Amino acid sequence: MTPPRADAAEDTGLDGVAVELRGITKRFPGTLANDAVDLTVRRGEIHALMGENGAGKSTLMSVLYGMERPDAGTIRIDGRDAHFGSPSDAMAAGLGMVHQSFKLFDSLTVAENVVYAAEPRRFGLVDRAAARRRVRELAEEHGLVVDPDARVGELPVGLRQRVEILKLLHRGARTLILDEPTAVLTPAEADALFAVLKSLAAQGRSVVLVTHKLREVLEGSDHVTVLRDGRVVARLVTAETSADEIAAAMTGRAVELDRIHAPGTPGEVVLDVSGLATDAVHDVELAVRSGEIVGIAGVAGNGQSELVEALAGLRPVTAGRVTLNAQDITHASATERRLKGLAYVPEDRHAVGTAPAASVADNLAMGHHRTSLSSRGLLPPASVREHAKRLIERFGIKAATPDVPATALSGGNLQKLLIGRELAHDAPLLLVEQPTRGVDIGAIQNIHDQLIAYRDAGHAVLLVSAELSEIRGLADRVLVMYEGRVTASYGKDEADERSLGLAMAGSAARAGGISHTADGSPHTNAEATD
């Protein structure tokens, strides 16, 4: 059995309406997540849905995809009324969704993931050969090449994204919903994704794209709908709008976008790494000085996470030497490193950076519980609470009380909590991974300002980000990692998107000169270009 293909172009012209939502209202206890939202998606278009964290984008998509029932409102697909009780109803109506966090089975193969719940069968058994064939066919047809027999858990994120899209195509989805699909992709991967999306749209499929990234929206979409506090505040034609207009609609105020911050004034070497090797990392040399931000750019899966984990003491070092303020910490435990002056914002704020079920106060105490908050092994609850109140105030975290569980915070607020907690250590060295992933524009600015202020207070910051605009805006120097090695190094002014992109893709054009530029010599000629 082969699932039906999309033959959208045959019945209606490209101007037909694929999805029409009218008056969708969804209430959660205490929140009106969607308030009479209208949304029209035409056939063959890429429609961007934007809004700050908590604006109601994911909720709206959940309603459309049958995961949540709306309290009010109607859904029409291809002109017909639809009542979705579950995602399978939505799938049957030709919808398909790629969720913000991938919904894949790590231990299964690519082919198994693609055909899951729509399997080609022989005598009731899964026809594996047919499944493999199907994956290859689809991959060729849409330029989404991936090995059908690979275990998904072993694939890099970019390829997992492809598996997600293959899943939808296998089911013949005519409308694809993607929730923040590029949050974890590098620019090159994102560009490849948009190429695929555009070709799908050209075939007559529709794409609904939820994202925080203005650049993508401007380059890739046809229409933009902006949500704020659960209401539609703008419907724009992409060709006729600007980044500023969208941003203003989202936040309700004018915002400065993609600022390039003034360079810092580097001082002593704080972190010195020589010849470091660990899993998937080879012979890394780098130095970070006080008063500077060193950015590490790279396609996910090229050793950045492993490098940072090794520096944070969560992964054993197999060779090389690491010093922090001239003290050897190569084999120190995570705790020792923290006591010697290291703070760390990890990439995954839900699974690693916080304990979602614990209170905000307890989450804010982590790390501080060993130093300022405790004496002689005691940790008075009152001081934990006081500390939390101080940080909530200082970093503008929106939490009703310090006692609510961290799950009650929105993604952006949770990230503020995490960054605030680590900044509050006042540690000479801060490791930050993907500080603004999935965070809205307003929160991004807040976080960027905090990082710059931290640098200017004379601390060293090592920033890992897949967001080139972020790296370029914040970093005083940029290193590129490729296949576990630092393959290129740029000064603030040299780091344009094109050459960074090339280096991330493995072009070793500048690999020659790293050892000298990586040692932290300041690039005084950098200009502030706000």
Ligand X SMILES: Nc1ncnc2c1ncn2[C@@H]1O[C@H](COP(=O)(O)OP(=O)(O)OP(=O)(O)O)[C@@H](O)[C@H]1O
Residues that bind Mg ion (CB under 5 A): 58, 411, 438
- Residues 256, 259: Cα–Cα separation, whole Å: 7
Among another protein, ligand X, Mg ion, none, residue 380 binds (CB under 5-8 Å by kind) = another protein
Q: Is 124 in the site for another protein (CB under 8 A)?
A: yes
Q: How many CA atoms lie within 13 A of 444 on its CB side?
A: 26
Query: According to the binding rule CB under 8 A, does residue 47 interact with another protein?
Result: no
Cα–Cα distance, 210 to 50 (Å, whole number): 6
Q: Which of 47, 174, 212, 338 binds another protein (CB under 8 A)?
A: 338
| Nearer to another protein (CB atom), residue 38 or residue 106 | 106
Task: Name the minimum Å distance from CB 108 to another protein.
Answer: 7
Site string for ligand X, 98-117 (x = CB under 6 A): --x-----------------
Backbone angles phi, psi at 337, to 5 degrees: -60, -45
Single residue of 36, 366, 408, 511 touching another protein by CB under 8 A: 366
Please count the CA atoms within 13 angstroms of the CA of 47 that sit on its side-chain side: 24
Cα distance between residue 476 and residue 517, in whole Å: 12
**Residues 93, 82: contact at Cβ < 8 Å?**
yes
Q: Restricting to residues 22-41, which ones interact with ligand X according to CB under 6 A?
A: 28, 31, 33
DSSP bridge partners of 32: 27
**Contact status, residue 43 vs residue 12, Cβ threshold 8 Å:** yes
- Give 33 or 277: the residue with its C-beta nearer to ligand X: 33
Residue 255 in the binding site for another protein (CB under 8 A): no
Regarding 59 and contact with ligand X (CB under 6 A), the answer is yes
| Residue 258 DSSP symbol | S
- The residue within the footprint of ligand X, chosen from 44, 56, 96, 263 (CB under 6 A), is 56
Q: Of residues 37, 50, 55, 144, which one binds ligand X by CB under 6 A?
A: 55
Contact 65, 20 (CB under 8 A): no
384-403 mask for another protein (x: CB under 8 A)? x-------------------
The site string for another protein over 52-71 (x = CB under 8 A, - otherwise) reads -------------x-x----
| Residue number with CB closer to ligand X (6 or 361) | 361
Residues in the chain: 530
Among 172, 313, 411, 473, interactor with ligand X by CB under 6 A = 411
Q: In sequence order, what are the residues at sequence separation of 6 or more whose Cβ sits closer than 8 angstroms to the Cβ of residue 498?
A: none
Q: Which does 54 bind (CB under 5 to 8 A by kind): another protein, Mg ion, ligand X, none?
A: ligand X
Of 353 and 411, nearer to Mg ion (C-beta) is: 411
315 contact, one of ligand X, Mg ion, another protein, none, CB 5-8 Å limit per kind: another protein
Q: How many CA atoms lie within 13 A of 423 on its CB side?
A: 24
CB of 60 to ligand X, least distance (A): 7
Any residues with CB less than 8 A from the CB of 337 and at least 6 apart, and which?
312, 313, 324, 329
Q: Which does 125 bind (CB under 5 to 8 A by kind): ligand X, Mg ion, another protein, none?
A: another protein
CA–CA separation, 250 and 229 (whole Å): 9
Of another protein, Mg ion, ligand X, none, which one does residue 55 interact with (CB within 5 to 8 Å by kind)?
Answer: ligand X
Does the protein bind another protein through residue 352 (CB under 8 A)? yes
Q: Which DSSP symbol is given to 351?
A: I
Largest CA-CA distance found in the chain, in angstroms, rounded: 76
Please tell me the count of residues contacting ligand X according to CB under 6 A. 17
Number of other CB atoms surrounding residue 522 within 10 Å: 18
The correct pick among 31, 74, 327, 335 for binding another protein (CB under 8 A) is 335
Q: Are 26 and 68 spatial neighbours (Cβ–Cβ below 8 Å)?
A: yes
Give the C-alpha separation, 272 to 323, whole Å: 5
Pick 117 or 326: Cβ nearer another protein? 117
Under the criterion CB under 8 A, does residue 381 sit at the interface with another protein? Answer: yes
| Count of positions on this chain that bind another protein (CB under 8 A) | 62
CA 279 to each of CA 301, 318, 321, 411: distance values in angstroms, whole numbers, following the listed order: 12, 8, 15, 30
| Least CB distance to another protein at residue 3 (A) | 12
Rule CB under 8 A: which of 60-119 touch another protein?
Answer: 65, 67, 86-88, 91, 97, 99, 102-108, 112, 116-119
The entry of Mg ion, another protein, ligand X, none that residue 28 binds, CB within 5 to 8 Å by partner kind: ligand X
Output the smallest distance, CB 388 to ligand X, in A: 18
Instruction: Tell me the C-alpha distance between 480 and 295, whole Å.
Output: 8
Residue 301: DSSP 8-state? T
Contact (CB, 8 A) for 420 and 443: no
Q: Contact letters (x/-) for ligand X, 336-375, by CB under 6 A?
A: ----------------------------------------
Neighbouring C-beta atoms of residue 29, cutoff 10 Å: 4
Name which of ligand X, another protein, Mg ion, none residue 335 binds, using a CB cut-off of 5 to 8 Å depending on partner kind: another protein
β-strands 460-464, 429-433: how paired? Answer: parallel
The residue assigned the tokens 């291809």 is: 78
Residue 275 interacting entry, from ligand X, another protein, Mg ion, none, C-beta within 5 to 8 Å by type: none
- In the complex, what is the shortest distance from the CB of residue 436 to Mg ion, in angstroms, rounded to a whole number? 11
Q: Which is nearer to ligand X, 8 or 39 (CB)?
A: 39
Are the C-beta atoms of residues 138 and 111 closer than 8 Å to each other? no
Q: For residue 179, what are the contacts with CB-CB under 8 A and spacing of at least 6?
A: 57, 58, 61, 97, 98, 99, 100, 210
Please identify, among the stretches 225-233, 375-383, 444-452, 470-478, the one whose residues bind another protein according to the rule CB under 8 A.
375-383
Q: Give contact residues for ligand X (rule: CB under 6 A).
A: 28, 31, 33, 51, 53-59, 100, 409-411, 438, 440
